[in-house]
Chain A
Amino acid sequence: MTKVRIPPTLREQVDGEREIPADGDTVRELLDDLMGRFPTLRRQLVQDGELAPFVNVYVEGEDVRTLDGLETEVRPGSTVILLPAMAGG
């Protein structure tokens, strides 16, 4: 089980939680688990079956796009952060 940090712009989709435990050995499996339980997350994270261009996923501080994308491995205890673009100023 890995804890996934949920950014403030997505918290309404997850009952206001800041961190959600999710199961999976890859980023894809983690997100599938999350989106299975919180279906409205899907359109915030996925576009055309891939990670949407306006959201980044970091595993141990590294953008998964610079690793193996959605197939990037995660280990129990890994720090996973979801980060959508936000423009507020």
Chain B
Amino acid sequence: MSSYRELLQQVRAEISELDATRTRELVETGDVLVVDVREQDEWDEGHIPGAVHIPRGYLESRIERAAPDPSRPIVLYCSAGNRSAFAARTLDELGYEDVSSLSGGFTDWKRNGFAVELNAGLDAPRRARYSRHLLIPEVGEEGQLKLLDAKALLIGAGGLGSPASLYLAAAGVGRLGIVDADVVDESNLQRQIVHSTERLGEAKVESAKRTIEALNPDVQVIPYKERLTSENVERILADGWDVIVDGADNFPTRYLVNDASVWHGIPVVHGSIYRFEGQVTVFKPGAGPCYRCLFPAPPPPELAPSCAEGGVLGVLPGVIGSLQANEALKLALGIGEPLVGRLLLFDALAAEFSEVKLRRDPDCPVCGEHPTITDYIDYVEFCAGTREPA
């Protein structure tokens, strides 16, 4: 039996080794694949620019994907050149033809003053900003990076869109699209907390954009100062959204959002409010019902008063919009149990939540087995109370 030192010496004698200067020359030619075989925390603290990271323990299983051509030169490195020596022998055994180990490792590379790339993860200011997320195992750095990469489209910058957009922005959701044609009105400020008195008369999307960017400069806001219609929905969706947060204030938009989301396979976090009560659910195409499964047809306008007509307690959209943000964040992170197939009801007066089950309707005209609606319709007319003959 040989000691570690003897084994290392033997392996180093069998493999090819390069010093830092020669390695840098090869890196500059671009013809070499540089593989960092250290652990995650070592990689995170900095690595050779352009290197790929395959921890030693995963080398055999992951090298093929990184290096499909066994004749391409490979330089392996670790911190001091020992782990990479063993790794080089492994790749020799696997049949790679031109494998070297960086003698002296990353330590020597840095000692020479060569370039170091910091990890693509979170920089120090972001680590500080999102520290309370990073502390949660279910979120962590990986989750925060997902959020920063996530794209949410908010329909409406009103009662529901205000808290939803603020919490998504604070959480670091990287891109928020906001669709709203209105301007800020005095009657909005009792509940629409993304706006303010000094923004009266300003477009809601611009007002929201200013508030959000002041809260979190990581967030890019795409304003759409228009009402969502059959004519513009495809253009807006073409900008690429992972989730839609529906805080519309009318039925035509609700049905339009539904149909578009089913056809595009985008989950919708649905919220609606009236006076003291609100509803939240997630319509996830393929995984649960859609809005039309829940309500195949809208009520005649005279039977469905809006908040503009019937009023709403100012804090109610705060509760429901925050729940929508909660669902959108869970979808972006891929954690928890989203409200798919469940409608959560909140009664502010009773301070009571209740839940009912929603099921997919196999005969649904949009998401059912034999859909009869396959293109955008005239949603205003559809919701104008035109009743089919009995």
Query: Is B247 in the interface zone, CB < 8 Å from A?
Result: yes
Q: Number of contacting residues on B, CB 8 A?
A: 48
Q: Quick check: B299 and A89 within 8 Å, CB to CB?
A: no
Q: Say whether, besides A58-B356, A89-B247, A89-B271, A52 and B299 are in contact (CB < 8 Å).
A: yes
A88 with B272: CB separation less than 8 A = yes
The listed residue (B158, B159, B295, B312) touching A56 by CB distance below 8 A is: B295
Bound complex: CA of A85 vs CA of B385, how far in Å?
A: 14
**Is A89 within 8 A of B248, CB to CB?**
yes
Known: A63-B358, A81-B354. A9 touches B296 (CB 8 A): no
- Give chain B residues whose Cβ lies under 8 Å from the Cβ of A63: 356-359
- Known contacts: A9-B310, A89-B247. The answer to whether A53 contacts B390 by CB under 8 A is no
CB-CB under 8 A from A8, the residues of chain B are 274-277, 310
The interface residues of chain B lying within 8 Å CB-to-CB of A22 are none
Give the contacts of A74-89 with B (CB-CB under 8 A).
Answer: 81, 83-89
Contact B299 A84 (CB under 8 A): yes
List CB contacts (< 8 Å) of A18-34 with chain B: 18
The answer, among B156, B304, B310, B347, for a CB contact under 8 Å with A85, is B304
Number of interface residues of A (CB under 8 A): 26
Do the beta carbons of B304 and A84 come within 8 Å of each other?
yes
Mark each residue of chain B from 350 to 381: 1 if its CB lies under 8 Å from any CB of chain A, else 0: 10001111110000000000000000000000
Beta-carbon contact of B298 and A85 below 8 Å: yes
Let me know if B121 is at the binding interface, CB within 8 A. Answer: no
Any A CB within 8 A of the CB of B184: no
Q: CA separation between A52 and B36, bound complex, in Å?
A: 65
List residues of chain B with CB within 8 A of the CB of A9: 274, 303-305, 310
Does A38 sit within 8 A of B, measured CB to CB?
no
Q: How far is the CB of A53 from chain B (nearest CB, A)?
A: 4
What residue of chain A has the Cβ atom nearest to residue B343's Cβ? A83
The residue on A at minimum CB distance from B159 is A89
Query: Is A44 in contact with chain B by the CB < 8 A criterion?
Result: yes
Tell me whether A53 and B158 are in contact (CB under 8 A): no
- Please name all residues of chain A whose beta carbon is closer than 8 Å to the beta carbon of B247 when the two chains form the complex: 89
* Beta-carbon contact of B295 and A81 below 8 Å: no
Interface string of B299-319 (1 = CB under 8 A from A): 100011111001010000100
CA distance A73 to B373 in the complex (A): 34
Residue of A nearest to B158 (CB): A89
Instruction: Find residues 31-89 in chain A having any chain B CB closer than 8 Å to their own CB.
Output: 43-44, 47-48, 52-56, 58, 61-63, 66, 81, 83-89
> When A and B form their complex, which 6 residue pairs have the shortest distance between CB atoms, in order from nearest?
A54-B299, A53-B297, A88-B307, A89-B247, A85-B295, A53-B296
Q: List 14 A-B contacts (CB under 8 A).
A: A8-B274, A18-B349, A44-B299, A47-B387, A53-B295, A54-B299, A56-B294, A84-B304, A87-B249, A88-B273, A88-B307, A88-B312, A89-B156, A89-B272
Inter-chain pairs besides A88-B273, A89-B160, 5 sampled, C-beta below 8 Å: A9-B303, A56-B356, A84-B304, A86-B304, A89-B159
